Structure 1
Amino acid sequence: IFDQLKKEQPDFLSKVVLIHGDCVQPNLGLSEDDRIMLRAKVNCVLHFAATVRFDQTIRTATYINVRATRDLLRLATEMPNLKSFVYMSTAYSHCVRSSIGEEFYETPITGEKLITLVGSCSEEFLDKITPTLLESWPNTYSFTKAVAEEVVQSFSDRLSVAIVRPSIVLPTAREPLLGWTDNMYGIVGLVVGICLGLIRVARIKIDCLADMVPADYCINNAIAAAWYVGEKKNREVVGNFDNRPPIFNFVITPHAPITWRNFSMRIDAHLKRVPTKYLVWYPCCFFAENYYTYMLLNILFHHIPAHLADFVMLCLGRQPSSAIPGFSHLNYRPVDGARKIDKVMNAISYFSTREWTFSDQNTQELYRQLNDTDKEKFFFDLSNFDWNQYFYSGAEGARVYILKDPLETIPEGEKRYRKLQIYHFALVTVLCLGLLWLCYYIIKLLF
């Protein structure tokens, strides 16, 4: 990932200072020496650190997403050279609303009260009251991001702050590499699971719009936001913005909308073009919107096969395991794998079965204010986004950067794809014939 940077800036490490910190700890776990250095040297803060786990405990989510944000804002007030502070939130921080504008919304509790609450109660008690505390929010992640926005707003009278709200973040579209990502959280994990043949049922409302943006566009938007609030401190550069802290919704549905159906069709097309040698089964996934339909299919296509695989392995005297080559950390029993899939779907189904209306006038206006050079260098215009090109490069990127499967092994992947395709349709044929025979046998008994 840093090869191009090493060529262009061989001494880039001399420009980077690493410090030790931990967002779970008070004051971000920074030493006093580092705090002194930060006060003296920093003139722009881009706060992207967060826990993005939907099932994170309310205590840990609050410490990382709310308290760490507050403590960093406090430190920022002590920086005499600070020009701007940008907080990276999420477009789904207020997902309890069907229409989300570029404005602040009320939260059921302030950041200070939430920090005090989680710090004074036992973990067991917090687990019990979490559903009540979240109210209509689906998880601790979106809830604590909403509360963190309230914290940022409370510092707006002392600091030049802005909030960037991206929707679902996808692998990069341009830089540092095409299709690059380093994690399998959320939608990325779902897509990889489907492409490997591991996930065969997903709870998705297929004709809903799926709002997703490339990671590099999102970063460029945040950098431009930092420029804006830094310049605004001295002069008004964007006449349409008022004196409130600006919020930039970074979303794609107003410009290049795509449905989950279209999304899945494009993935399927490009999967066949660059199949991986790590395929576990022939990729074939059913989408179900209704919860009960999903649960029935989930049992049929995930849990029953997983239990059968466990049973067969035990009969053969082998330890049940579903380790994928190159993924030693995924070494678990098939039954545990089915439970992990349940966990993933429970986390994302709230977002994959609903649709939101977003406004992004501030983001569009911000891009228009950039000069031509900066528009090219910090490109984040989504008005003409090419999904076909994105999926073309994204498929190769996911193969190389997530699965660690180089493009040179495509012939091996194609061979495995064809073999599993034969196995899949042979199994489907046998099952269909068996079902027909069973129906015939039952009818014969009855009549």
Structure 2
Amino acid sequence: MNLGTFGNMAANGGSVCDFYANSSVFITGGTGFLGKVLIEKLLRSCRKIDKIYVLLRGTTNKTAQERLEDLSHEVLFEKVRQDDPNIMKKLIPVNGDLTLPNLGMNNEDYSLIVKNVSIVFHAAASIRFNLKIKEALHCNVEGTKKVIELCHKARCIKAFVHISTAYSNTDKTFVKEEVYPAPENLDKIYEIIRQNEDDTEADDLTSSRPNTYTYAKAVAEYEVLRNHGSIPTAIIRPSIVTPIWRDPTPGWLDKWSGGTPIIFGLCKGLLRCLDTQPSNVIDFIPADIAVNLSIVAAAKCHVDTPKVKVYNCCSGPTNPMTFKMLSDYCHENSIKHGLHWFPYPKIFLSTNRVFLKIVRLVLQFLPLFLADIWLKIRGKQPRFVKMLEKLTKVEKTLHFFIKNQWQFENHNVEALISTLSPSDRVQFPCDPSEICWKTHFEDYCLGIDKYLMNTSIKSANINSGMYK
């Protein structure tokens, strides 16, 4: 480490944990996958943190308080609860809604946040791919603007971290760590939407993107750039988020989202092929790396320039994984741990349409169809063809990301990691080059069976995004 690095550390006031000591944090999206991992990590590693306010929307069945209690009793929080039974008292539920004025908070709660909070993590977003453009903008752009408004009112704001996605700029093959101009001026976008109630031309707005989710996230990033003012701000762009890599529970995940249904289908022998080149890089990033990078970025950005710092939180630049590696790991673990439901779960990777049609018919559909007939004969409910239909919809939804690949710049990530002390590197590991993909995917495959198999594949959200 050079002297300049030591100088930066000194200017930053010590360790990452020191930055959070006696400070209060406000989190949106706390019930999402990354949100939960973020909350757990802050409680476990930043013990001197004052309060963590979590924006939650009450439902018809449960209040915000009840939802937070449910969250805190999940398996993910077992270790931190055992270490300190009173630590969960630091979590404060705030009833609200990202789409409403003042984030749906009452005046008392809003004033409390403005007075006490100094660090804000905005992780909430609608990750549905098939939303109408107006709905996607309403949540992912207008919600982001409301969070920034709160940051401007906060009396002691030290850092604002916006969780975006590495796929907000899929119109580019090489994605730099910078905020690109929005696809279109926001006012013009709304004008086009107002003039086209049938959404025909409005949908044409997103023609440069695979879906309205990535389009809205690109617009949201630009709004962060335009409106952050003097607030120290960082944008984190995770790629396809996988389960926890290291702590506290390797392989933990809680949702059928992102690429998980595909991994499930490959391991079980339900899916036998993917439309892609074996050498194509698929960019995965474990949830804890994305969270650790976010925590570190907040601690460092307050001493940086007023410029918004962008971090492409991706594995491709330093530790790439190909689809060939992915298929090999799924096949290996399927056999090793007996995860497969059908014999010899071989996976074929090709872009030849004729070949893929043959494989899908002979090796994919036919065995499942015959298995369903056998279930009927035995008086049981057929299920495999329905599972295949569900998985096929997921595959079609993600086809754009399976078929294509991108290169992501990571200079800012590397520079950020270089500022960390040895102890912070151990406490907040965020270097993708350290991942052993073989071990991680064994945990991933086993994690699906351990944490998700009590939830039917039928409940999988086929419109899930890449990182939430």
Q: Establish whether TM, by shorter chain, passes 0.5.
A: yes
AA matched with 1:354 = N
Retained in 2: the 8 A contact 1:66–1:115?
Answer: no
Distance 1:31 1:113, change over 3 A: farther
Residue 170 (1) aligns with residue 242 (2): yes
Q: Which residue of 2 aligns with 1:366?
A: 416
Matches within 5 A, 1:186-265: 186-232=258-304, 243-265=306-328
Distance 1:34 1:67, change over 3 A: same
Displacement of 1:39 in angstroms is 1.1
Distance 1:15 1:175, change over 3 A: same
Matches within 5 A, 1:33-432: 33-114=108-189, 122=197, 125-126=198-199, 128-232=200-304, 243-276=306-339, 279=341, 283-291=345-353, 293-295=355-357, 297-302=359-364, 321-322=382-383, 336-404=386-454
Retained in 2: the 8 A contact 1:196–1:281?
Answer: no
Displacement of 1:185 in angstroms is 1.4
Displacement of 1:355 in angstroms is 1.9
Q: Which residue of 1 aligns with 2:103?
A: 28
Displacement of 1:51 in angstroms is 2.1
Distance 2:389 2:409 in 1: 37
Distance 1:31 1:384 in 2: 45
Displacement of 1:20 in angstroms is 2.1
1:25-82 CA distances to partner (integer Å, 9 max, x unpaired)?
4543333332222111211111111222323332332222111111111121111111
Retained in 1: the 8 A contact 2:133–2:203?
Answer: no
AA matched with 1:252 = S
Distance 1:275 1:110, change over 3 A: farther
Displacement of 1:105 in angstroms is 1.2
Larger CA Rg, structure 1 vs 2: 1
Distance 1:29 1:118 in 2: 25
Distance 1:250 1:394, change over 3 A: same
Distance 2:202 2:270 in 1: 32
Q: Which residue of 2 aligns with 1:433?
A: none
Distance 1:310 1:129 in 2: 44
Retained in 2: the 8 A contact 1:25–1:63?
Answer: no
Displacement of 1:308 in angstroms is 6.5
Displacement of 1:172 in angstroms is 0.8
1:195-216 CA distances to partner (integer Å, 9 max, x unpaired)?
1222233223221011111110
1:363-391 CA distances to partner (integer Å, 9 max, x unpaired)?
11111111222111111012332223323
TM-score (norm 2): 0.74
AA matched with 1:161 = T
Retained in 1: the 8 A contact 2:263–2:445?
Answer: no
Q: After superposing the two structures, state which structure 1 stretch, 182-191 or 47-56, moved more.
A: 47-56
Distance 2:360 2:405 in 1: 23
Distance 1:230 1:129, change over 3 A: same
Distance 2:370 2:443 in 1: 37
- Three-state SS of the structure 1 residue aligned to 2:150 is helix
Q: After superposing the two structures, state which structure 1 stretch, 218-227 or 133-142, moved more.
A: 133-142
Retained in 1: the 8 A contact 2:162–2:234?
Answer: yes
Q: Which residue of 1 aligns with 2:81?
A: 6
Retained in 2: the 8 A contact 1:59–1:119?
Answer: no
Distance 1:175 1:15 in 2: 20
- Three-state SS of the structure 2 residue aligned to 1:43 is strand
- Three-state SS of the structure 1 residue aligned to 2:433 is coil
Identity %: 28
1:262-314 CA distances to partner (integer Å, 9 max, x unpaired)?
121122112222224x8366533333324565455435555566666777878
Distance 1:382 1:159 in 2: 28
Distance 2:113 2:195 in 1: 30
AA matched with 2:243 = P
Distance 2:401 2:244 in 1: 21
Distance 1:365 1:58 in 2: 36
Distance 1:290 1:24 in 2: 44
AA matched with 1:351 = F
Displacement of 1:85 in angstroms is 0.6
- Three-state SS of the structure 1 residue aligned to 2:241 is strand
Cα root mean square deviation, aligned: 2.7
Retained in 1: the 8 A contact 2:267–2:333?
Answer: no
AA matched with 1:397 = G
Distance 1:114 1:45 in 2: 28
Distance 1:103 1:292, change over 3 A: farther
Retained in 1: the 8 A contact 2:158–2:232?
Answer: yes
1:129-188 CA distances to partner (integer Å, 9 max, x unpaired)?
354111221111211111110111011324221101111111111122011111121211
Distance 2:325 2:145 in 1: 41
Retained in 2: the 8 A contact 1:58–1:140?
Answer: yes
- Three-state SS of the structure 1 residue aligned to 2:432 is coil
Displacement of 1:10 in angstroms is 0.9
Distance 1:33 1:377 in 2: 36
Displacement of 1:320 in angstroms is 5.7
AA matched with 2:183 = P
AA matched with 1:41 = N
Q: Which residue of 2 aligns with 1:330?
A: none
1:370-414 CA distances to partner (integer Å, 9 max, x unpaired)?
122211111101233222332333333233122259xxxxxxxxx
Q: Which residue of 2 aligns with 1:421?
A: none
- Three-state SS of the structure 2 residue aligned to 1:93 is helix
Distance 2:201 2:378 in 1: 45
